[in-house]
Structure 1
Amino acid sequence: MKRNKPSPVFESSATQDFDYVDSQESLETLIDELLLEERIAVDTEFHREKTYYPSVALVQIAHSKGISLVDPLKVEPEVFAKLFDSDILIVMHAAGQDLEVFQHICGVVPRHLFDTQIAAGFIGMSTPSLANLYEKQLGIKVKKESRLTDWLARPLSDSQLEYAANDVRYLLEVHEKITKQLVNYGRETWVEAECTLLLEKERGRREPEHAWKKIKEGRNLNGKALNNIRALAAWREIKASNLNIPVRYVFPDLALVGIAQQEPTDIESLENVRGVESRHLKGPFPGEIFLALKNAKKLDPLPKVIKRGKDTTNDLRAGVTLVSAWIAQAARQLELDPAMLGTRSDIEALVRGDPDARMGSGWRHQIVGEPVKELLQGRAALAFDADGGLVLERREKR
């Protein structure tokens, strides 16, 4: 399907045409006005290098009357909850971390979200940056030199304010243009489903009982050591949250895995664990570590993972390779970002027949579910067409 070509690229020369909101009264007036809108574009600037939670420094909003930059250092941002817990469509780009910001500062995420980066994957763009999206869709180049500046410093410079405003300046126009293309492709519901999944993922972010899954070496443990790392990682996550410091500042992964394996019972044995530093031996940390190891013995066992034999593994590898090749071509033909259609892990889950395989339901299943099933059951085969591409051919019954 043909897409309209963007206009010739030009440099954005936008001046400071925005409102700077730095009083509670002004913010509440703005929120009341925004509640009358059908859609708004939202972005944030934040830092999190030395904190567990993101430290929000600015909130940018584009709406029908212009652009508003809200200074969260001067106002109480909890009032954003009224905005997000409404029927307004919130347009964001690469919303993951911004959602975490709002979950922290006002306790909610939007009820209705349109992520332009996700949507771009459904019209053939591969997870574009915002600057790339502006250029490809609108032919506009924006300046990006203020991206890594100190956003918590005050006053913000003119270049910082212009950069921040540009992050939302054209988002509503991009949303409108992409939506038209999605309608032409018949993929609006696909984007809606993916944005809903993103919101659900954010609501379940940082659950302490799942923190051990983020420790690479921890996922390879078994027996008592596995229960230990589960309890230790949960303790570290809660501790970091309470202190608002990165989890690595509490205990590094290396030390946590060593403790899980060695099960120290006193300060001396704890000190001998690789990765444990003298600062870890002061204050309440040692006692809390020993308590976590004690609590590990009370954890319910994890669901058993079915181990597959060598032959099954080889069969799986062959099936995954075959399906991956076909899915990659299907994505190209459909002008989809291949990663959006399915990662290798998704393909493995589908080939294994996992009941919760991401490609086994929803819009992904509509595209690949039944064809892959026929391919794996031998009712279809892959062949090369005249142009060297892959085609799925049904096999005649014998």
Structure 2
Amino acid sequence: MMWIDDDLSLNALIDQVVESDRYALDTEFHREKTYYPKLALLQIRVGDVTALVDPLAINTQLLGRLFAADSLCIIHAAQQDLEVLQHASGSVPQRIFDTQLSAGFIGMSTPSLASLVQSELKISLPKGDRLTDWLRRPLSTDQQRYAASDVDFLFALHDNILARLKELGRESWAAEACEELRTRPCGPQDPSEAWLRIKEVRTLKPASRGVAQAVAEWRERKAMQHDMPPRRVLSDIALLGIAHSAPQTVAELSSIRGLESRQIGGQVGQEIVDAVAHGRNVEVRIPHSEHDDLDKEFRPAMSLIAAWISELAREHHVDAALLGTRQDIMDHLRKSPKSRLSNGWRAEIVGRDIEKILTGEAGLSFDGRGRLRLLPTTLQ
């Protein structure tokens, strides 16, 4: 295990990765006190060497050369790591193999790294302290050892999972799913939709929704600007209180529950009042739930197809969430261009058969053991 805290050593490590077929990667990060995730440590394994890279001491833009390499990046549960890396370096690896995601194609359901290493390699990973401050320097020997263990066994997991994927003829399925994950948009969501992440907004009267939307958007942009959690800018309780009362002056604003005077000092109070004024003139609607605009005749089909997909997932030893979620089914029934069931391996297993069900070419029936089966129909 080596510690890297200068650009020269990092470039030397990247040179090794560029010359290798694969490398393992993991990150440690914090986001409790910031809006954007703060990269605290980068673990990289290439060959038989594990390196701990200190992002606080190196130029993180150099990671762009690492991620541009054609080498396959082996990573576990990559979604948050990709977001962190995108923010820290402006790029993500060109090719990934997510061991958690790929394990879903060989009969496992989103296993943790520790459980996967135990089941596949019969090795117990060291237990880390969930309260570890990864931004603190220096890291203790135990902390470094724990961090290194997150990448030390990824090559062996890759070998095991890949071999079984090939046996089952599902290597392309996993590759497609990993690329789908790698290219999925990550990072901040549209600030204008921030209000929808507040649970209680669905109880607001129509006249209050525009205010909630405008103030939540202001809060989100303020949080992004100052890199702090939105609720530290303005609590949800205060935001909802503002939406209910729609204050027109800073003086009226100061009486809102959950809002302290220090939070509305300077220009902030007037900015909130301006957002309220804007929101009062805007009519916004809460998006329909997943069933609201689904034609009534499709609702029985939705439930039946969802049950059938769960049955197929068990038969194929594939994680049901990978095969198709209720949102996937709905997108397919609506003929949405973003339907995942219309393309690739999902279309092969379920998408085309759903079309047969909808057109009457096939139907679903229970067998003698209570399992759903797809059967061809005889059209009169």
Residues 38, 89 of structure 1: 8 Å contact kept: yes
Moved more, 107-116 or 139-148: 139-148
In structure 1, what residue type is equivalent to 2:150?
D
Residues 331, 341 of structure 1: 8 Å contact kept: yes
Residues 60, 164 of structure 1: 8 Å contact kept: yes
In 2 relative to 1, CA 378–68 (structure 1 residues): closer, same or farther, beyond 3 Å?
same
Deviation track 1:175-201 (CA, whole Å, cap 9, x = no partner) reads 122122222333233223322332333
**Corresponding residue for residue 179 of structure 1:** 162
In structure 2, what residue type is equivalent to 1:372?
I
In the alignment, structure 1 residue 341 sits paired with structure 2 residue 323: yes
In structure 1, what residue type is equivalent to 2:341?
M
In the alignment, structure 1 residue 86 sits paired with structure 2 residue 69: yes
Distance 1:333 1:53 in 2: 41
**Corresponding residue for residue 135 of structure 2:** 152
In 2 relative to 1, CA 258–341 (structure 1 residues): closer, same or farther, beyond 3 Å?
farther
In structure 2, what residue type is equivalent to 1:364?
R
In the alignment, structure 1 residue 114 sits paired with structure 2 residue 118: no
Deviation track 1:238-277 (CA, whole Å, cap 9, x = no partner) reads 2112212111111123333443454321123323444433
**Corresponding residue for residue 238 of structure 2:** 255
**Corresponding residue for residue 347 of structure 2:** 365
Per the normalisation by structure 2, the TM-score is 0.88
In structure 2, what residue type is equivalent to 1:88?
S
2:242 counterpart SS class: helix
In 2 relative to 1, CA 233–87 (structure 1 residues): closer, same or farther, beyond 3 Å?
farther
Distance 1:266 1:171 in 2: 58
Structure 1: gaps (5+ residues): 1-17
Identity of counterpart residues, as a percentage?
42
Distance 1:300 1:109 in 2: 39
Q: How does 1:241-252 map to 2 (within 5 A)?
A: 241-252=224-235
| Counterpart among 43, 55, 77 of residue 72 in structure 1 | 55
Residues 212, 219 of structure 1: 8 Å contact kept: no
Residues 99, 202 of structure 1: 8 Å contact kept: no
2:40 counterpart SS class: strand
**Corresponding residue for residue 371 of structure 2:** 389
Distance 2:258 2:139 in 1: 40
Deviation track 1:39-97 (CA, whole Å, cap 9, x = no partner) reads 11111112222121222221110111411111223322221111112322222111122
In the alignment, structure 1 residue 19 sits paired with structure 2 residue 2: yes
1:201 counterpart SS class: coil
Residues 85, 110 of structure 1: 8 Å contact kept: yes
Distance 2:114 2:214 in 1: 43
**Corresponding residue for residue 12 of structure 1:** none
**Corresponding residue for residue 9 of structure 1:** none
Count of aligned pairs: 380
In structure 2, what residue type is equivalent to 1:169?
D
Residues 209, 284 of structure 2: 8 Å contact kept: no
**Corresponding residue for residue 82 of structure 2:** 99
**Corresponding residue for residue 214 of structure 1:** 197
In the alignment, structure 1 residue 323 sits paired with structure 2 residue 302: no
Moved more, 196-205 or 102-111: 196-205
Distance 2:287 2:126 in 1: 52
Deviation track 1:328-352 (CA, whole Å, cap 9, x = no partner) reads 0001111110111122333333344
In 2 relative to 1, CA 159–331 (structure 1 residues): closer, same or farther, beyond 3 Å?
same
2:162 counterpart SS class: helix
User: What is the deviation of 1:384?
Assistant: 2.5
Residues 209, 285 of structure 2: 8 Å contact kept: no
In structure 2, what residue type is equivalent to 1:357?
S
Deviation track 1:156-215 (CA, whole Å, cap 9, x = no partner) reads 122111111110001122112212222233323322332233233344543434433423
1:141 counterpart SS class: coil
In structure 2, what residue type is equivalent to 1:164?
A
In structure 1, what residue type is equivalent to 2:126?
K
1:391 counterpart SS class: strand
1:236 counterpart SS class: helix
Residues 57, 73 of structure 1: 8 Å contact kept: yes
